[in-house]
C-alpha cells in the first residue's frame, strides 16, 4: 500500500529487518516569523542496522521538497528516490547512515509542526503533534511505534524564543538574530512521541523531589507554559499541585521511577485533542487555561487529563504497543488511571467515579452500539484505521473494563502485575499477551477467558432484574438476566432502595456477586421485601446497560432526584438516558425528568451532562410535533433554576449557559439581550467574556444579532478565542447567505486553520435551522470523497462528521446515506466508517422519534 497510508503488513516487514540505533534531527524554524514563509528546514541523520544487507526498505517523509538524500555516504537523487511520502532505500548495508535534508511545511491543521500567530500581540508560536503518524511531516523517519530509538534534537529559532523538547537542553548558542538549542539524547521512544515546542511562551517553574528506596533522591524539574497573552489567566500553582500529587501516586503504585528527566506541560493554541503524552514535554489544548469563570467540573476535567497523560509516561511511553491494534494498552489504562488517580492521589476531586459513570461511559455506550464497533483490541489494518480508533471503545470502554478487572483480580494483584510489566518491557514494545502473563502471575487467575470475553469481542451487555414476589411482597426469587453476545462475566453490586422518613431514597441492601451467562439467580436476596428501587450495577463496577423492573422504573419517574448517593443517582440517570436512546422511554419523558429533577442535582459534572443530553433528546429524539413544547419546557426550566441557584455558584453558571443554549421565545431572548447590555441582572452572575459569546451565539442563531454587532464584540475580545466565537456566531446567523459563506469557507477553500474549520461547522449546523441547511444534504454526499482525497485526515474527519445532515431526521436523508454507501463500496474504509456511523445515529434518531410519538 504505497503513499501516506502505511499498512500493518508493511510495518511488520520493515520491523523484521531493521533496528534503529538513533536519530539526530535539526530543525531551522527562523522562517516562522515571516507570514509568507511556508516551509522550514529539516535535517535528519538516522543510524540503523539491517538484517538483510543488499535489501531494500523506505523512510517516511511528508514534505514539499527534499534537497538531499545520502545513504552510507553516497548521494541519491531526490527526484528518483522521493515520491512525496517516502524515501526509497536500496542496497542496504548491515550498518547504515541515512541523511535527509528537506523543506517541510508549517501546518495549519494541528498535524506536524503547527504555526499560530497570536492576534493580541502578533507573536508566533510553534508546537508539534504527531499521533499516530505525523512526525514524518517534520523529519524523515521510520514512522511506526515498534522501531524505537534515542532522539537528539537541535533547533535554530528566533533569538527571543524559548524551545522545549523531550529532553533537557544542554547548550544554547547565540547567533545574532537566532539561537540554536541543543538537547540531550532521549531514552528510546517511538517517533510519534517526540515533541518540539517553540516561541515566546510564558513559563512557570517548580520542582519535584522524591526519596527512592535505595536512599537516593529523584529530582524532576517541572515547567508549565502558555502564550504570553494568556499569562494573566494561568493558574500554574494548581497545575503543579495536581502534577506533584500524581507523581507521588504513580511512583508509589508503579514502583518504577519516572524515566524521562524533566516534566514540562505546554498549553498550546488550536490543538486538535485534549492533550498528548510526549515524554518530558506534554502538550495540552490551551482551553485548559481558563480565561473566564468555569465550574468545578472543568477543573476536575483538567486534573483528570493531567493524570491521564502522566499515566502514559509508563503505559505508552516507557512500554509501547507494537502496532495500533493494541492502542488500548496505553489509552484504556490512561483513561482508567485519570479517574482512579484523582481519588488515589488524594486530589480534591473526589467525585471522579461519578463523573466517569455519567460522562465517559456515555461515550463508550454510544460507540459500542454503532455498526462499526470493534473489540477493545482492534484489527487495525493501516494508519487511517488507527486514526479512527481513538474512540469511545479504546478510551472509555477500555477504562470501564479495566475497572472491572481491578474488581476481578483485586487492586494489589493488578498493580503488582503492572510493576512486573514495566520492569520486563521497559523501553520496549508489547502485545496483549505480555500484559496478561504478568497479571496472571500476580493474581493467580486464568485471564485468557476473561480477555476473550472483554477485550476481544465487541458490544455492550444489558442486565435486567427479574423478581418473583409473593402475596406479602416478599421476593421468592431474584435473578439477573443478561442480554447481548457474548454473555460476559460481570462483577456487579445490586442495591435496594427505600424511602426514609424524609422521603429520600436510601440504600437499604447491597449484594456484590459474579454474574455469568444468560440468567444468574441471587439466592441471598430471596425472602427480602421487594424494594421501591432495584439498581443493578450499583457502584458502577462493570460495563453494561441497566434496565429496571416496572416498580423501579415507576419509582424513578417519581423520585429519581431523591436518591441520596451521588454515584448511584448518576448511574440511574445514565440508565434512563440509555433507555431514551434505545427508544424504550419517550424523549418527552426524559425531558420531564430533567425539568423536575435536574435542579436538585448536586454533582456539577452530572448536571452539565444532563444539559447536553436533554439538548440531544430535544433536537434528535423528540418527535417533530413535540419539539416546540419540549423547547419551551427546557427554556423555562433553565430560567427557573438560574433564578433559584445560589448566587455565584457553579450551578448558577451552568444554568446560565443552559439558558443561553435553550432560550426560546421573547421572555428568554429579551433576558439574554438584557444580560449582554447590562440592563438585566441575575444576583451573583458575572457575565464575563466567555458567557458573553455564548449569549451572542444565542441571539445570532435566533436572528436577533447582526454581523455588525458581532464584529463589535470582537473589538472587545480580539483574541484567538474571540475570533473562533465570532466565526461560529456569523455562521449561525439564520440566513441563506450565512450558510453559503460557511459552507464555501470550509469546502471550497483549504486556507482556514483547524480551529476556524471547527467553528464554521459548529455555526452552520444549528438544530433550529433545519430548513436553511436542508439544501446542503445533497451536495454533502457529492463532495465527501473529494474532501477525503484532498484534505489531511484530521480536517477531512471534521468535515465528514460535522457537515453530515444529522438534523435532517427524515427517511429521505437516511435513504441518501444508504444510497451513498451502496454506490461507493470502494471508497476509503475510514471514510465509509464515518458515514456509516452518522447514518446509524440518524436511524437511531428516527426510531426514538417513533417511540416519542406513541
Rg (Cα) of the chain, in Å, rounded? 28
CA separation for the pair 582, 584 (Å, rounded): 6
Contacts of 711 (CB under 8 A, 6+ apart): 726
Burial of 174 (0-12, 13-18, 19+ CB in 10 A): exposed
The answer to whether residue 309 is catalytic is yes
Lay out the sheet containing 505-515: strands in order across. Answer: 505-515, 490-499, 533-536
- Residue 119: C-alpha distances to residues 86, 138, 715 (Å): 36, 25, 12
Orientation of helix 754-764 relative to helix 736-747, angle to 10°? 150
CA separation for the pair 511, 496 (Å, rounded): 9
Residue 158, classed as helix, strand or coil, is: strand
Q: Which of 648, 613, 670, 611 is nearest to 848 (CA)?
A: 613
CA 834 to centroid of chain Cα atoms: 17
Residue 100, classed as helix, strand or coil, is: strand
Q: Which residues are registered as beta bridge partners of 58?
A: 88
Q: Which of 559, 557, 566 is nearest to 503 (CA)?
A: 559
CB atoms within 10 A of CB 214: 5
Helices (H) and strands (E) in the chain, counts: 29, 28
Burial of 403 (0-12, 13-18, 19+ CB in 10 A): buried
Q: Which of 648, 576, 653 is nearest to 607 (CA)?
A: 653
Could you report how far apart the first and last alpha carbons of the chain are, in Å? 51
Per-residue HEC secondary structure of 672-727 comes to HHHHHHCCCCCCCCCCCHHHHHHHHHHHHHCCCCCHHHHHHHHHHCCCHHHHHHHH
Q: Which residues are registered as beta bridge partners of 506?
A: 498
Q: Which residues are registered as beta bridge partners of 834?
A: none
Strand duo 178-183 + 533-536: pairing: unpaired
| Largest separation between any pair of C-alpha atoms in the chain | 92
- Residue 387: C-alpha distances to residues 130, 189, 341, 544, 853 (Å): 11, 20, 27, 26, 39
Please tell me the number of Cα atoms within 13 Å of 586 on its side-chain side: 13
- Catalytic option among 143, 300, 309, 837: 309
Contacts of 135 (CB under 8 A, 6+ apart): 128, 141, 143, 191, 192, 194
Whether 168 contacts 184, CB under 8 Å: yes
- Residue 490: C-alpha distances to residues 92, 484, 663 (Å): 53, 13, 43
- Residue 435: C-alpha distances to residues 142, 430, 464, 627 (Å): 26, 8, 33, 50
Q: Which of 47, 35, 37, 86 is nearest to 63 (CA)?
A: 86
- Grid coordinates representing 118? 497570536
Contacts of 560 (CB under 8 A, 6+ apart): 569, 572, 573, 576, 593, 597
Contacts of 730 (CB under 8 A, 6+ apart): 700, 707, 710, 738, 741, 742, 763
CA separation for the pair 9, 85 (Å, rounded): 17
Taken in order 830, 835, 836, 838, the sign of the CA dihedral is positive
Residue numbers annotated as active site: 309
Amino acid at each position: 500500500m504505497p503513499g501516506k497510508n502505511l499498512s500493518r503488513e508493511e510495518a511488520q516487514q520493515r520491523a523484521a529487518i531493521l533496528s534503529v540505533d538513533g536519530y539526530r534531527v535539526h530543525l531551522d524554524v527562523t522562517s516562522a516569523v515571516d507570514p509568507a514563509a511556508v516551509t522550514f528546514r529539516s535535517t535528519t541523520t538516522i543510524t540503523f542496522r539491517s538484517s538483510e544487507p543488499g535489501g531494500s526498505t523506505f523512510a517516511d517523509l511528508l514534505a514539499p521538497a527534499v534537497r538531499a538524500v545520502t545513504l552510507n555516504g553516497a548521494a541519491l537523487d531526490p527526484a528518483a528516490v522521493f515520491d512525496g511520502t517516502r524515501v526509497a532505500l536500496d542496497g542496504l548495508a548491515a550498518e547504515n547512515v541515512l541523511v535527509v535534508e528537506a523543506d517541510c511545511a508549517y501546518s495549519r491543521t494541528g498535524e506536524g509542526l503547527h504555526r499560530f500567530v497570536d492576534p493580541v500581540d502578533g507573536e508566533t508560536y510553534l508546537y508539534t503533534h504527531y499521533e499516530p503518524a505525523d512526525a514524518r511531516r517534520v523529519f524523515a523517519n521510520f514512522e511506526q511505534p515498534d522501531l524505537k530509538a534515542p532522539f537528539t534534537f537541535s533547533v535554530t529559532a528566533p533569538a527571543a524564543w524559548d524551545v522545549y523538547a523531550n529532553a533537557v537542553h544542554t547548550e544554547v548558542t547565540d547567533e545574532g538574530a537566532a539561537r540554536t538549542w541543543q538537547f540531550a539524547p532521549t531514552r528510546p521512544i517511538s517517533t510519534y512521541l517526540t515533541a518540539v515546542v517553540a516561541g515566546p511562551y510564558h513559563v512557570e517553574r517548580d520542582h519535584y523531589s522524591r526519596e527512592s528506596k535505595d536512599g537516593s533522591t529523584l529530582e524532576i524539574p517541572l515547567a508549565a507554559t502558555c502564550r504570553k497573552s494568556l499569562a494573566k489567566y494561568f493558574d500554574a500553582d494548581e497545575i503543579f499541585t495536581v502534577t506533584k500529587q500524581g507523581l507521588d501516586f504513580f511512583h508509589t503504585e508503579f514502583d518504577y521511577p519516572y524515566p524521562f528527566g524533566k516534566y514540562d506541560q505546554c498549553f498550546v493554541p488550536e490543538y486538535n485533542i485534549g492533550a498528548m503524552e510526549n515524554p518530558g514535554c506534554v502538550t495540552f489544548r490551551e482551553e485548559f487555561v481558563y480565561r473566564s469563570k468555569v465550574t468545578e467540573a472543568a477543573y476536575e476535567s483538567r486534573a483528570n487529563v493531567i493524570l491521564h497523560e502522566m499515566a502514559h509516561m509508563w503505559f505508552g511511553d516507557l512500554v509501547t504497543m507494537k502496532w495500533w491494534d493494541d492502542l488500548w494498552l496505553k489509552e484504556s489504562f490512561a483513561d482508567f488511571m485519570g479517574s482512579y488517580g484523582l481519588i488515589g492521589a488524594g486530589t480534591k476531586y473526589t467525585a471522579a467515579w461519578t463523573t466517569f459513570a455519567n460522562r465517559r461511559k456515555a461515550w463508550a455506550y454510544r460507540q459500542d452500539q454503532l455498526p462499526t464497533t470493534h473489540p477493545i483490541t482492534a484489527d487495525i489494518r493501516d494508519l487511517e484505521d488507527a486514526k479512527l480508533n481513538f474512540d469511545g471503545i479504546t478510551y472509555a470502554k477500555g477504562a470501564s473494563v479495566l475497572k472491572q478487572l481491578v474488581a476481578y483480580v483485586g487492586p494489589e494483584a493488578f498493580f503488582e502485575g503492572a510493576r512486573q510489566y514495566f520492569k520486563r518491557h521497559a523501553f520496549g514494545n508489547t502485545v496483549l499477551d505480555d500484559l496478561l502473563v504478568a497479571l496472571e502471575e500476580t493474581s493467580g487467575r486464568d485471564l485468557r477467558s476473561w480477555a476473550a470475553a472483554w477485550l476481544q469481542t465487541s458490544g455492550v451487555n444489558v442486565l435486567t432484574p427479574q423478581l418473583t414476589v409473593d402475596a406479602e411482597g416478599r421476593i421468592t426469587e431474584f435473578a439477573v438476566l443478561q442480554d447481548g453476545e457474548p454473555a460476559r462475566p460481570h462483577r456487579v453490586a445490586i442495591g435496594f432502595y427505600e424511602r426514609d422518613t424524609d422521603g429520600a431514597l436510601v440504600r437499604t441492601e447491597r449484594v456484590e456477586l459474579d454474574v455469568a451467562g444468560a440468567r444468574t439467580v441471587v439466592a441471598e436476596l430471596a425472602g427480602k421485601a421487594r424494594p421501591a428501587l432495584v439498581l443493578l450495577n450499583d457502584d458502577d463496577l462493570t460495563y453494561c446497560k441497566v434496565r429496571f423492573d416496572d416498580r423501579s422504573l415507576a419509582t424513578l419517574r417519581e423520585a429519581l432526584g431523591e436518591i441520596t448517593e451521588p454515584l448511584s443517582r448518576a448511574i440511574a440517570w445514565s440508565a434512563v438516558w440509555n433507555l431514551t436512546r434505545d427508544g424504550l422511554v419517550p424523549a418527552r419523558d426524559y425531558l420531564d425528568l430533567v425539568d423536575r429533577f435536574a435542579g436538585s442535582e448536586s454533582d456539577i459534572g452530572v448536571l452539565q451532562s444532563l444539559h447536553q443530553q436533554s439538548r440531544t433528546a430535544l433536537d434528535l429524539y423528540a418527535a417533530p410535533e413535540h419539539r416546540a413544547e419540549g423547547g419551551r419546557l427546557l427554556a423555562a426550566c433553565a430560567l427557573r433554576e438560574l433564578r433559584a441557584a445560589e448566587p455565584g455558584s457553579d450551578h448558577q453558571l451552568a444554568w446560565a449557559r443552559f439558558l443561553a443554549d435553550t432560550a426560546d421565545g421573547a421572555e428568554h431572548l429579551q433576558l439574554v439581550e438584557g444580560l449582554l447590555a447590562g440592563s438585566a441582572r441575575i444576583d451573583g452572575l458575572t457575565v464575563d467574556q466567555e458567557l458573553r459569546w455564548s449569549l451572542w451565539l444565542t441571539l445570532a442563531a435566533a436572528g436577533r444579532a447582526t454581523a455588525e454587532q458581532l464584529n463589535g464584540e470582537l473589538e472587545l475580545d480580539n483574541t484567538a478565542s474571540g475570533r473562533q466565537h465570532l466565526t461560529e456566531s456569523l455562521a449561525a446567523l439564520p440566513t441563506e447567505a450565512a450558510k453559503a459563506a460557511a459552507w464555501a469557507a470550509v469546502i471550497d477553500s483549504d486556507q482556514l486553520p483547524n480551529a476556524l474549520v471547527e467553528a464554521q461547522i459548529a455555526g452552520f449546523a444549528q438544530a433550529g435551522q433545519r430548513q436553511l441547511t436542508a439544501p446542503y444534504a445533497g451536495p454533502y454526499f457529492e463532495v465527501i470523497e473529494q474532501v477525503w482525497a484532498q484534505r489531511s485526515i484530521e480536517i477531512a474527519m471534521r468535515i465528514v462528521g460535522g457537515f453530515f445532515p444529522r438534523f435532517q431526521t427524515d427517511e429521505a436523508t437516511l435513504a441518501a446515506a444508504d444510497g451513498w454507501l451502496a454506490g461507493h463500496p470502494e471508497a476509503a474504509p475510514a471514510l465509509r466508517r464515518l458515514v456509516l456511523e452518522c447514518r446509524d445515529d440518524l436511524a437511531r434518531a428516527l426510531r426514538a422519534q417513533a417511540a416519542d410519538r406513541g
